[in-house]
């Protein structure tokens, strides 16, 4: 499986559903970022040939939600929702609990 460096600001899309994400923060190094069991690709990459969504990994992504790993060293913003479950190196990502942001709007 392909390992990718995850840089803040980079955008990825699922190859098996509509999910798109943007990296908010990420640890250094290379990781397997997947959605619905299939590797995610760069957001502007040409549409990949139809992979299939793993039914066991169809936990859905929701637009606007932030997804994190256990120690929250990785944070992804879902910019488009889809059917697949996001995972990093085989471990499913969780929705980050909303916290008070320093908003002035």
Partner 1 sequence: MNISTILDMAAEAFGDRIGVVSGGQRYTYAELREAAYRAARRFKASGAAYVALLDVNSPAAPVALFGAAYAGIPYVPLNYRLTQVEINKLLARVAPAVLVTSADFSGKLEQRADIQVIDRADFLSLPEGGDELPQPEEDPRAIAVQLFTSGTTGEPKAAILRHENLMSYIVGTVEFAAAEEDDAIIVTVPPYHIAGISAVLSSTYACRRMVQMENFEAAAWLEACRENSVSNAFLVPTMLQRIVDHLVEAGSQPQLPALRALAYGGGKMPLSTIAKAMQLFPTVDFTNAYGLTETSSTIAVLGPDDHRAAAASSDPAVQRRLASVGKPGAVEIEIRDESGKVLGAEEAGLVFVRGPQVSGEYLSLGSQLDADGWFPTKDRGYLDAEGYLFLDGRADDVIVRGGENISPGEIEDVLLGHPAVADVAVVAMPDEQWGEGVAAAVVLKSGASASVAELQELVKGKLRSSRVPQAIVFKDALPYNELGKVLRRIIRQEFV
Minimum Å gap between C-beta 102 and partner 1 is: 3
Q: Could you say which DSSP state residue 9 is in?
A: T
Note whether 9 binds partner 1 by CB under 8 A: yes
d(CA 19, CA 21): 7
CA distances from 9 to 14, 21, 25, 29, 57 (A): 17, 10, 8, 15, 25
Minimum Å gap between C-beta 26 and partner 1 is: 13
DSSP labels, 45-59: SPPPP-----GGG--
Q: What would the x/- binding string for partner 1 be over residues 23 to 42, using CB under 8 A?
A: -x-----------------x
Nearer of residues 28 and 56 to partner 1, judged by Cβ:
28
Note whether 56 binds partner 1 by CB under 8 A: no
Residues 93/66, Cβ–Cβ less than 8 Å = no
Q: Interface residues with partner 1 (CB under 8 A)?
A: 8-11, 22, 24, 42-44, 63-65, 77, 79-80, 98, 101-105
């Amino acid at each position: 499986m392909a390992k990718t460096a995850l840089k803040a600001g980079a955008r990825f899309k699922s190859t098996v559903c509509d999910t798109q994400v943007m990296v908010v923060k990420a640890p250094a190094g290379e990781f397997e970022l997947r959605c619905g069991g299939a590797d995610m690709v760069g957001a502007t990459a040409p549409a990949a040939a139809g992979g299939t969504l793993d039914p066991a990994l169809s936990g859905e992504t929701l637009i606007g939600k932030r997804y994190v790993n256990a120690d929250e060293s990785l944070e992804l913003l879902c910019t488009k929702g889809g059917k697949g479950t996001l995972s990093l190196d085989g471990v499913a990502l969780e929705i980050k609990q909303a916290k008070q942001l320093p908003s002035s709007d």
